[in-house]
Amino acid sequence: MSARAGLRRGHVLCSLTRRGSGIGRVGVSSAQQQQRRLLNHFISRAPPLPETPPHNGVPDEPLSQPQAKSFTLAVKDNIATTTSSLPTTCGSAFLASHHSPFEATIVTQLRRRGGVLVGKTNLDEFGMGSHSVNSAFGPVAQKAKRSAGGSSGGSAVAVAEGEADVALGTDTGGSVRLPAAYTGTVGYKPSYGMLSRHGVVPYANSLDTVGLLARSVGAVAELVVGAGRLWAEHDPMDPTSLSAAARARCASVREGYQGGLPLPRDESSQSQSPSLGERYTQRHGSSTLARSHEAEKSPEAMVKGVRFGIPLEYNIEELDPCIRDAWAAAAERLRALGARIVPVSLPSTRHALSAYYVIAPAEASSNLAKYDGVRYGSVRADSDEDDSKTTTDAADGGVLYAATRGHGFGEEVKRRILLGSYTLSSEAMDNYFLQAQKVRRLVRRDFDRVFALENPLHEPEAFSLSDLPDTVAMENKFGPTEVDFLLCPTAPTLAPLLENVMAQRSPVDAYMNDVFTVPASLAGLPAISIPMEVAAEKEEGVSAVAGLQLIGQFWDDARLLAVAGAVSDILKAVPTVEGR
C-alpha cells in the first residue's frame, strides 16, 4: 500500500482551499525590493541599528559570551521576541499586531552567544503546512518560483539567500527539515527536550521542537554541542525541557559532549548492572563508539566503519526516481569509503503519517482554544449583522466566538481544529486518538530496535523476529545488524512549482511531503537534513538539490552532527549563495 493510500484511509478530509496572497512589508529599494517581494520570506525586519535587547528583568545581563563571534539571526515568527519593531504574528490575522511581553529562551540564549536579530520570518499559519503558503502575509517562495517548504519556509529562504547566518524554526513533523531539503540548506531537529520551547507558540506540545537552519552543519554543531553548549542548558520555564540530571545521565552514555555535566549523587541509581555505554562497548567495542567524533580525522576517516541503516519501508512508490537514484548513489559512495550500508526494517513507520495527522491536530485544537477575540485577537461580530448592533448582541446570539475565530483563522487552521476536535470526541477517541498513540509507541520501538545505542529514557523492549521482512538479513541468531544512523531522503519529491502547490485540490498531496520526517518526530529523535544534488534539469541556473536525512538515537545529537558534517563534505553538495 502506498503512503498516500494509507493517509487517505486514516482521515476524511475536505478539499484544500488557499488563502489570498499578500506581500510582506519590506523597506528596501530597486532590485532587492522586487526580489524580496517575490520571495516574501520576512514578515518584519529589525531596524538597521538593533535596539538594546531587553534583559527580561535581570539587570546587567551579558548579551554575549566572552569572545563570542557575532552572527546574523532570523527568527521564525511563532517564536517570541520583544523588539518593538518585531511583533510575533504566527503568520495569522489573529496576531497581526501582537507584541510579546517576554522573549523566547532560545532567542535570549543565541543573543548571548553573539546572535544579531535581523527579522521575523514568514511561515504557515501557526506552523500548519508543508509549503509556507498558509500565511496571512502571503506565500513564501524561493528562486525559480518554487516552494520553499514549510512551515519554516521563510527561515530557510533567509539562510539560502545569505540574509541570515543562522535561522530559528520549529519542527513538529518536519517543518525545519523539509524547507532545508527544498532550499539546499541544512536543517536540524534536536532530540525532544534538548532546546527550550519557552516562548514558542505551541502547535502540538508533544511533538514541537525548536530547530536550526544554516548553510553548513558546522555552524549548527558549534552552537549546539561546540562552544555554544546549548545542549547543556535546562530551562525551568519549559516543562518539556530535560532536567540537568537527565541531561547529565544522557551525556554520560554518549560521545561528543565535551565537558559534560556532573552526575547527581543518587545511591538508588547505583547498581551492579552495566550502564548503557558499557553494554554498547561489550557488544560493539569502544572504538566504534568514539570513531565518528574525532575532530582531527578527515571526513572519509570519520565515516569508515560507521553503520548506516537504509529503511526498506522508505522506498515508497511516490519517491521521485531522481531522488531514489541520488539516495542510492550517496549510500554507495559511503560504502566505498568503508561505511557499512545495512538494510533495516521499520514496520510501524508505514502508519506514522496517519498517526501524526491524528495526534498533531488533536493537540492543536486544544492549544488554539484561547484565540477567541477576548484573550487574543480582536472581537468581531458576525459580518451579516448591522453595524448598529453591539458585540454584546453578537454574544447573546451565540455567534461572537464563532464569528471571531471564523474570521481570524485561515482555512488550513480551521481544518485541523475540526479534525482534532473530532478525534478527541467521545465517539472517535477510541478509534482514532488512542490508536494513533499506540502507533506512536510502536514507531519508537522500531527505532530502538534498529539502533545499536539504547534509548536512555526507556527500558529495552523485546521484539519478535517474525515481524521482520525476509529481505532483512540476520547478523546472528539474536537478530539483524544494529546501526548507528539511518540514511534516507528528507522529502519524496523536489521542490514543486509554487503555482502547482496553490492549485492542489486535496490536502493529502501536501501532507505526503512529511512522510519521511514524521517518524523521527513521533519518536522524539534527532534528525538533520543536508543538501544532496540530484540528476535533474537546471532551471534559471539553479541546481536541482534534494535533502538527505540522517536520523540518530535519542540524545546522540553530537555524533549525528559530526557524521552529518562528514557526509556533507563528502557529497560536496552544500551550495553557496552565489552558486545557487
Q: What is the CATH number of the domain that holds 160?
A: 3.90.1300.10
pLDDT at residue number 572: 77
Q: Is residue 376 part of a domain?
A: yes
Note whether 155 and 225 are same-domain residues.
Answer: yes
Q: How confident is the model at residue 329 (pLDDT cuts 50, 70, 90)?
A: very high
Q: Is residue 12 part of a domain?
A: yes
Catalytic one of 44, 76, 191, 196: 76
Catalytic one of 44, 92, 151, 365: 151
Distances (CA, A) of 365 to 2, 101, 128, 130: 28, 24, 12, 19
Compute φ and ψ for 231, nearest 5 degrees: -60, -25
Element (H, E) at 214: strand 209-214
pLDDT at residue number 324: 96
pLDDT at residue number 481: 84
Note whether 227 and 85 are same-domain residues.
Answer: yes
- Written as one string, the DSSP assignment of 246-276 is HHHHHHHTSSS-TT--PPP--GGG--SS--H
If one counts every other C-beta atom within 10 angstroms of the C-beta of residue 452, the result is: 18
Q: Is residue 233 part of a domain?
A: yes
Element (H, E) at 45: strand 42-45
* Domain boundaries, position 358: 352-433
State how far Cα 575 lies from the chain centre: 21
For residue 223, give the 3-state DSSP assignment. helix
Element (H, E) at 166: strand 166-171
> What proportion of the chain, given as a percentage, has pLDDT over 90?
64
Note whether 358 and 422 are same-domain residues.
Answer: yes
Answer with the residue of higher pLDDT: 308 or 268.
308
Give the cell for residue 219: 555552524
Q: Is residue 527 part of a domain?
A: yes
Give the cell for residue 447: 527505532
| Residues 253-292: tens digit of each pLDDT | 999 987 666 655 443 344 344 544 454 445 545 434 344 4
What end-to-end distance do the CA atoms of the chain give, in Å? 37
If one counts every other C-beta atom within 10 angstroms of the C-beta of residue 514, the result is: 27
Distances (CA, A) of 409 to 169, 320, 345: 21, 34, 40
Q: How confident is the model at residue 396 (pLDDT cuts 50, 70, 90)?
A: low
Note whether 109 and 209 are same-domain residues.
Answer: yes
State how many domains the chain has: 2
Catalytic one of 175, 241, 348, 354: 175
For residue 392, give the 3-state DSSP assignment. helix
If one counts every other C-beta atom within 10 angstroms of the C-beta of residue 546, the result is: 27
291, with CB counted inside 10 A (0-12, 13-18, 19+), is: buried
Note whether 72 and 204 are same-domain residues.
Answer: yes
Note whether 392 and 522 are same-domain residues.
Answer: no
Q: Is residue 297 part of a domain?
A: no
Closest by alpha carbon to 138, among 50, 37, 32, 55?
A: 37
CA distance 119 to 77: 9
Query: What stretches of 409-517 show up as alpha helix (H) in DSSP?
Result: 411-423, 434-450, 498-502, 507-511
Q: Are 152 and 42 in contact (CB under 8 A)?
A: no
Q: Is residue 291 part of a domain?
A: no
pLDDT at residue number 195: 98
Note whether 181 and 75 are same-domain residues.
Answer: yes
Q: Are 362 and 420 in contact (CB under 8 A)?
A: yes
Q: What is the mean pLDDT of residues 338-346?
A: 95
CA distance 566 to 218: 10
76 tagged catalytic: yes
In residues, how long is the chain?
580
Mean pLDDT, the chain, rounded, equals 83
Element (H, E) at 408: helix 400-408
175 tagged catalytic: yes
Query: In the listed set 433, 448, 465, which residue is the last one of a domain according to the structure?
Result: 433
pLDDT at residue number 477: 64
Rg (CA), the chain: 23
pLDDT at residue number 62: 44
Compute φ and ψ for 476, nearest 5 degrees: -155, -170
State how far Cα 75 lies from the chain centre: 14
Note whether 493 and 429 are same-domain residues.
Answer: no
Lowest mean pLDDT among 102-106, 276-280, 373-377: 276-280
Answer with the residue of higher pLDDT: 29 or 86.
86
Closest by alpha carbon to 200, among 228, 223, 171, 178?
A: 171
Note whether 14 and 143 are same-domain residues.
Answer: yes
Distances (CA, A) of 22 to 34, 49, 72, 75: 14, 27, 26, 20
Is 422's pLDDT higher than 80?
yes
Q: Are 171 and 177 in contact (CB under 8 A)?
A: yes
Lowest mean pLDDT among 69-78, 171-180, 385-394: 385-394
506 tagged catalytic: no
Is 394's pLDDT higher than 70?
no
Note whether 217 and 365 are same-domain residues.
Answer: no
pLDDT at residue number 74: 98
Answer with the residue of higher pLDDT: 155 or 18.
155
Q: Is residue 301 part of a domain?
A: no
For residue 168, give the 3-state DSSP assignment. strand
Residue 425: cis peptide before it, omega within 30 degrees of 0: no
Closest by alpha carbon to 170, among 159, 183, 179?
A: 179
Answer with the residue of higher pLDDT: 508 or 559.
559
Q: Is residue 399 part of a domain?
A: yes
Note whether 237 and 157 are same-domain residues.
Answer: yes
Q: Are 103 and 198 in contact (CB under 8 A)?
A: no
Element (H, E) at 357: helix 352-367
Q: What is the mean pLDDT of residues 21-43?
A: 56
Q: Are 76 and 168 in contact (CB under 8 A)?
A: yes
CA distance 290 to 331: 22
Q: Are 487 and 151 in contact (CB under 8 A)?
A: no
Note whether 402 and 503 are same-domain residues.
Answer: no
